[in-house]
């Protein structure tokens, strides 16, 4: 009873450490205007808006969807504000797609942003909870022990993280919107960079970025009127597990495995590595590439690092991961998940420019958040599902 | 054609000025377990979970994350969260149930307004570059709107005082309300202004609370209750943020949402529960929403009797549904608001089978 959903417009900002040239609304409109231009639509053609971003503390604006109504042309329309921690960009795309698949609207704008320069994300990521030890270490301090557990469990050699960092940064050089573009990046540069949270070195971590992403989703009739090739949504999945639960496997969380399983079932995928031609995964620290390869069932447990080491995940490999450079090159937190979804869509539309992988028919976008406990994913395809 | 979706249970905590015994996770665990129990369901029956809350109330980021621990979400659940009133989480869950692949959704909301300085929290919701620096807060904004209503000649301070008295006296019947008595109008009008032209009685109480609701799609609703409350229509709409672009003496987005939800079609509702934090907004919404001679208007006492932020809107839907279950009528309209000065409004039309 679900209606088909298509991506007909994609836009993103130039990402940078400080976008002092724009306000929050200016940043958001930069992405929205590019998505509208891609779809050859006006704001007045949009029926409903879903806004996503990570914690309001990042900019100090309380529930900014109210303020952004004017910049988004949302007066007289429904607007919703999604917040599912780091996975929020992905959830924003999924909630927007549901408004169409549930036959409520014809054209929905999904937009997500973060303007990290207007606050201090490290502070906001290190909350002090009553009756719990303080974790004044940001996201890296939380995730480094999980990476160490992965290395111990899988027997991965120590250079795997370096390989991911070099690959993603080389990919980022090709991305006109990327925040970090490190020409001439190599293993020696990564290995010479300071250790932040063992085993995560400076060049193995994501930046703090200002940026936004916008995606216009449409029903079948609206997609037929679209000037450029649409990407069709073949499946979506969201899964959440509790943070404080001794039975959790935080290295390969069950919520991620369950989400992938549900996603493949909906998209009728039986062998993801053969049937998908590219994936954009939420990899904020280099080592998360092999971890997510396993969690998504792209390979057997403890084998993810072998896929990375063999070069399969390079843009010339059999399963390119993050040809955009991914979160390692641009991390406007709330938008990072929607960027993954959007880059996957551009690949199947054949509109990825210098990032384009040849012959992409189906692609996966992935986001995660919290203490590796929130997952949002979609699969888009060149053909109707 | 929308899939019929029913409210099959609702649970709330009594609103209190300061919840000091329980944290958010414990408050949510209480209402979620009671809502599931009332539907004879467990988390294993639930195909989708959606919640509403605000980090700014708690004063820390990711405040909804540890609350997930209240659900017993193992195996992992299909789940989403809105940084909005729980009524908008209800909307997202209703949309999810339209797909037909899942039948049962759990919605919850929590808010502890006592955790910080509410007036500065409300200032932080305004345009950060052009307006927030002026220091307007929820009460001074409401006073601006109230002044506009006085000057338009549609309202009087005595009219507002009567609304304050009526709502809080109605709440005497509602054990979950916080303010349940009121002096008479003459006494109220002798009080000094808090922010002219509003007095303290024109403003909502500061409340902590939580609420949860179970929704079921299609005929499976009868597996969970003998008396499903059907959501016949639901819609929400926004207005501009810039005050100069809005007509403060009207609520055009409420009217639009109500039209699209079907609130003006058919007979006036037997029960109307709307989310008006201030008496002046209560008077305004009475002119916008459908009211017949026999309509019970805010029989719970409404937001003037209890106002846990992020929960109060979902509670309006829950109160309206509970009254239909109780036999107070066949048709209800419920309303929730979000954003400064009724900027965004949601309307739901509820019915029970005769």
Please report the pLDDT score of residue A1 as a whole number.
59
Q: Whole-angstrom Cα distance, residue B98 to residue B81?
A: 18
Q: How confident is the model at residue A141 (pLDDT cuts 50, 70, 90)?
A: confident
Residue contact A370–B240, C-beta within 8 A: no
For chain B, give the mean pLDDT. Answer: 97
Q: Using a CB–CB cutoff of 8 Å, tell me whether B51 touches chain A.
A: no
User: Which of B4, B62, B98, B252 to substitute to test the interface with A, most A CBs within 10 Å?
Assistant: B62
Are the C-beta atoms of residues A299 and A293 closer than 8 Å to each other? Answer: yes
A-contacting residues in B 91-150 (Cβ below 8 Å): 91-92, 95-96, 98-101, 121-122, 124-129
Structure tokens at B233: 């229509």
Give the alpha-carbon dihedral of B274, B70, A371, A366, to 10 degrees. -60
The vertex-B77 CA angle with B73 and B78, nearest 5°, equals 150
**Could you say which of A67, A74, A129 has the minimum Cβ distance to residue B127?**
A67
**Is A127's pLDDT higher than 90?**
no
**Is A132's pLDDT higher than 70?**
no
Give residue-wise pLDDT tens across range B86-122: 999 999 999 999 999 999 999 999 999 998 899 999 9
Q: CA dist A138 to A123, A165, A284, B152, Å?
A: 7, 20, 12, 53
Please report the pLDDT score of residue A136 as a whole number.
58
Q: Whole-angstrom Cα distance, residue A317 to residue A340?
A: 19
Structure tokens at B31: 């209402």
Q: Which string of b and e fits A231-248 if b means at least 16 CB within 10 Å? A: bbbbbbbbbbbbbeeeeb
In what helix (H) or strand (E) does residue A30 lie, and over which residues does it extend? Answer: helix A24-39
Q: How confident is the model at residue A124 (pLDDT cuts 50, 70, 90)?
A: confident
Q: How confident is the model at residue A80 (pLDDT cuts 50, 70, 90)?
A: very high
Residue contact B56–A238, C-beta within 8 A: no
Q: Please state, for a pLDDT cut of 90, what percent of chain A lies above it.
A: 91
Listing DSSP states for B120-179 in one string gives HHHHTTS-TTTTGGGT--HHHHHHHHHHHHHHHTS--HHHHHHHHHHHHHHGGG-TT-S-
Listing DSSP states for B186-241 in one string gives HHHHTSPEEETTEEGGGSPPPBEEEEEEEEEEGGGGGGT-SS-EEEEEEEEEE--S
Neighbours of A180 (CB within 10 A): 22
A-contacting residues in B 306-345 (Cβ below 8 Å): 338-340, 343-344
Q: Is A20 exposed, middle or buried (0-12, 13-18, 19+ CB in 10 A)?
A: exposed
Q: Taken in order A176, A182, A183, A187, is the CA torsion positive or negative?
A: negative
Neighbours of B153 (CB within 10 A): 8
What mean pLDDT do residues A357-370 have? 97
Q: By CA distance, what is A254's nearest residue in B?
A: B76
Give residue-wise pLDDT tens across range A252-274: 999 999 999 999 999 999 999 99
Please report the pLDDT score of residue B169 as a whole number.
98
* Higher-confidence position of B280 and A126: B280
Q: Whole-angstrom Cα distance, residue B130 to residue B122?
A: 15
Is B315 a domain residue?
Answer: no
Please report the pLDDT score of residue A144 as a whole number.
95
Is B219 a domain residue?
Answer: yes
Is B138 a domain residue?
Answer: no
Give residue-wise pLDDT tens across range A32-41: 999 999 999 9
Q: By CA distance, what is B123's nearest residue in A?
A: A62
Q: By CA distance, what is A25's nearest residue in B?
A: B127
Are the C-beta atoms of residues B244 and B126 closer than 8 Å to each other? Answer: no
- Ramachandran category for residue A133: left, alpha or beta (phi over 0 → left; psi -120 to 50 → alpha): beta
**Is B58's pLDDT higher than 90?**
no
Residue contact A66–B339, C-beta within 8 A: yes
Q: How many residues does chain A have?
A: 385
Q: CA dist B349 to A158, A294, B271, B320, Å?
A: 60, 47, 10, 10
**Is A137's pLDDT higher than 70?**
no
What mean pLDDT do residues A8-14 have? 98
Q: Please state, for a pLDDT cut of 70, what percent of chain A lies above it.
A: 97
In what helix (H) or strand (E) does residue A49 lie, and over which residues does it extend? Answer: strand A48-52
Q: Which string of b and e fits B70-100 if b means at least 16 CB within 10 Å? A: bbbbeebbbbbbbbbbbbbbbbbbbbbbbbe
Give residue-wise pLDDT tens across range A290-314: 999 999 999 999 999 999 999 999 9
Q: Whole-angstrom Cα distance, residue B34 to residue B37?
A: 5
Q: Respond yes or no on whether the N-terminal peptide bond of residue B197 is cis (omega within 30° of 0).
A: yes
Q: Whole-angstrom Cα distance, residue A383 to residue A208?
A: 36
Q: How confident is the model at residue A243 (pLDDT cuts 50, 70, 90)?
A: confident
**Could you say which of A66, A81, A99 has the minimum Cβ distance to residue B340?**
A66
What mean pLDDT do residues B166-187 have? 98
Q: Whole-angstrom Cα distance, residue A266 to residue A104?
A: 21
User: Which of A24, A54, A61, A78 to substitute to test the interface with B, most B CBs within 10 Å?
Assistant: A78
Q: How confident is the model at residue B1 (pLDDT cuts 50, 70, 90)?
A: confident
User: Which of A72, A83, A112 to substitute to test the interface with B, most B CBs within 10 Å?
Assistant: A83
Please report the pLDDT score of residue A298 as a whole number.
98
Structure tokens at B353: 């089978």
Question: Strand A362-369 to strand A278-280: parallel, antiparallel, or no bridges (unpaired)?
Answer: parallel
Q: How confident is the model at residue A129 (pLDDT cuts 50, 70, 90)?
A: low
Give residue-wise pLDDT tens across range A214-239: 999 999 999 999 999 999 999 999 99
pTM passes above 0.95: yes
Neighbours of A192 (CB within 10 A): 11
Write out chain A residues lying below 8 Å of B62, CB-based: 55, 85, 127, 370
Q: How confident is the model at residue B314 (pLDDT cuts 50, 70, 90)?
A: very high
- Give me the domain span that covers residue B95: 5-117+206-223
**Is A134's pLDDT higher than 70?**
no
CATH number of the domain enclosing B99:
3.40.47.10
**Could you say which of B60, B80, B81 has the minimum Cβ distance to residue A127?**
B60
Is B168 a domain residue?
Answer: no
Lowest mean pLDDT among A227-236, B56-65, B326-335: B56-65
Q: How confident is the model at residue A131 (pLDDT cuts 50, 70, 90)?
A: low
Is B133 a domain residue?
Answer: no
Q: How confident is the model at residue A244 (pLDDT cuts 50, 70, 90)?
A: confident
What mean pLDDT do residues B17-44 have? 96
What mean pLDDT do residues A321-338 have? 98
Q: Is B227 exposed, middle or buried (0-12, 13-18, 19+ CB in 10 A)?
A: middle
What mean pLDDT do residues B56-82 have? 92
Q: Whole-angstrom Cα distance, residue A369 to residue A200?
A: 18
Are the C-beta atoms of residues A337 and A89 closer than 8 Å to each other? Answer: yes
Q: How confident is the model at residue A349 (pLDDT cuts 50, 70, 90)?
A: very high
Domain count, chain B: 1
| Residue indicated by tokens 């590219």 | A278
Is B97 a domain residue?
Answer: yes
Lowest mean pLDDT among A134-148, A159-173, A329-343, B306-320: A134-148
| Residue indicated by tokens 């060149």 | A382
For chain A, give the mean pLDDT. Answer: 95
Residue contact B88–A80, C-beta within 8 A: yes
Structure tokens at A45: 């053609």
What mean pLDDT do residues A375-385 have? 98
Q: By CA distance, what is B239's nearest residue in A?
A: A75
Is B69 a domain residue?
Answer: yes
Q: Whole-angstrom Cα distance, residue A113 to residue A213?
A: 6
Write out chain A residues lying below 8 Å of B122, CB-based: 62
Is B41 a domain residue?
Answer: yes
Give residue-wise pLDDT tens across range A45-66: 999 999 999 999 889 999 999 9
Please report the pLDDT score of residue A72 as a whole number.
98
Residue contact A77–B237, C-beta within 8 A: yes
Q: How confident is the model at residue B193 (pLDDT cuts 50, 70, 90)?
A: very high
């Amino acid at each position: 009873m679900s209606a088909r959903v298509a991506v007909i417009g994609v836009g993103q900002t130039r990402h940078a450490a400080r976008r002092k040239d724009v306000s929050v609304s200016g940043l958001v409109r930069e992405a929205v205007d590019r998505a509208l231009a891609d779809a050859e639509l006006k704001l007045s053609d949009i029926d409903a808006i879903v806004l996503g971003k990570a914690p309001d503390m990042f900019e100090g604006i309380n529930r900014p969807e109210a303020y952004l109504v004017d910049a988004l042309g949302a007066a007289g329309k429904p607007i919703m504000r999604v917040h599912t921690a780091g996975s929020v960009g992905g959830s924003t795309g999924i909630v927007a797609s549901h408004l169409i698949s549930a036959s409520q609207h014809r054209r929905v704008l999904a937009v997500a942003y973060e303007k990290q320069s207007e606050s201090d994300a490290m502070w906001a990521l290190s909350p002090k909870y009553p009756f719990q030890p303080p974790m004044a270490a940001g996201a890296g301090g939380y995730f480094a022990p999980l990476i160490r557990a992965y290395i111990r469990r899988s027997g991965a050699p120590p250079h795997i993280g370096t390989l991911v960092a070099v690959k993603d940064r080389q990919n980022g050089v090709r991305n006109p919107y990327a925040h970090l573009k490190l020409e001439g990046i190599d293993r020696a540069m990564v290995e010479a960079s300071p250790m932040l949270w063992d085993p995560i070195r400076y060049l193995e971590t994501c930046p703090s970025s200002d940026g936004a992403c916008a995606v216009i989703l449409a029903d079948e009739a609206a997609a037929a009127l679209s000037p450029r090739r649409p990407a069709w949504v073949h499946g979506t999945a969201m899964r959440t597990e509790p943070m404080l639960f001794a039975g959790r496997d935080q290295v390969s969380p069950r919520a991620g495995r369950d989400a992938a399983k549900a996603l493949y079932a909906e998209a009728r995928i039986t062998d993801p590595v053969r049937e998908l031609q590219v994936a954009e995964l939420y990899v904020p620290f280099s080592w998360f590439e092999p971890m997510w390869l396993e969690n998504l069932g792209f390979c057997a447990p403890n084998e993810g690092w072998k896929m990375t080491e063999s070069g399969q995940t390079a843009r010339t490999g059999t399963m390119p991961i993050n040809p955009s450079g991914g979160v390692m090159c641009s991390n406007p937190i709330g938008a990072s998940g929607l960027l993954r979804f959007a880059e996957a869509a551009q690949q199947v539309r054949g509109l990825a420019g210098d990032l384009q992988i040849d012959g992409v028919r189906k692609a996966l976008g992935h986001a995660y958040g919290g203490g590796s406990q929130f997952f949002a994913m979609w699969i888009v395809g060149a053909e109707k599902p | 054609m929308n899939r019929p979706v029913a409210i099959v249970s609702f649970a709330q905590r009594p609103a209190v000025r300061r919840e000091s015994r329980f944290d958010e996770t414990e408050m949510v665990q209480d209402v979620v377990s009671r809502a599931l129990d009332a539907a004879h369901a467990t988390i294993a029956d639930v195909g989708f979970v959606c919640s509403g809350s605000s980090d700014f109330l708690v004063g820390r980021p990711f405040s909804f994350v540890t609350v997930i621990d209240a659900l017993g979400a193992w195996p992992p659940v299909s789940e989403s969260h809105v940084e909005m009133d729980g009524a908008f989480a209800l909307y997202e869950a209703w949309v999810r149930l339209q797909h037909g692949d899942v039948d049962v959704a759990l919605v919850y909301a929590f808010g502890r307004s006592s955790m910080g300085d509410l007036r500065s929290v409300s200032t932080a919701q305004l345009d950060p570059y052009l307006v927030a620096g002026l220091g307007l807060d929820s009460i001074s904004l409401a006073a601006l709107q109230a002044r506009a209503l006085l000057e338009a000649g549609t309202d009087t301070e005595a009219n507002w005082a009567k609304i304050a008295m009526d709502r809080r006296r109605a709440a005497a019947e509602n054990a979950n309300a916080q303010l349940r008595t009121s002096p008479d109008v003459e006494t109220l009008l002798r009080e000094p202004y808090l922010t002219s032209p509003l007095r303290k009685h024109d403003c909502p109480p500061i409340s902590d609370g939580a609420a949860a609701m179970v929704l079921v799609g299609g005929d499976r609703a009868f597996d969970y209750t003998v008396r499903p409350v059907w959501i016949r229509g639901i819609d929400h709409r926004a207005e501009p943020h810039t005050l100069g672009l809005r007509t403060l003496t009207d609520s055009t987005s409420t009217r639009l949402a109500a039209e699209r939800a079907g609130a003006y079609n058919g007979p006036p509702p037997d029960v109307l529960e709307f989310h008006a934090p201030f008496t002046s907004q209560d008077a305004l919404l009475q002119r916008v929403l459908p009211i017949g001679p026999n309509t019970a208007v805010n029989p719970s006492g409404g937001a003037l009797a209890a106002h846990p932020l992020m929960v109060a809107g979902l509670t309006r839907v829950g109160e309206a549904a509970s009254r239909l279950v109780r036999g107070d009528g066949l048709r209800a309209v419920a309303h929730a608001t979000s954003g400064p000065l009724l900027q965004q409004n949601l309307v739901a039309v509820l019915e029970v089978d005769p």
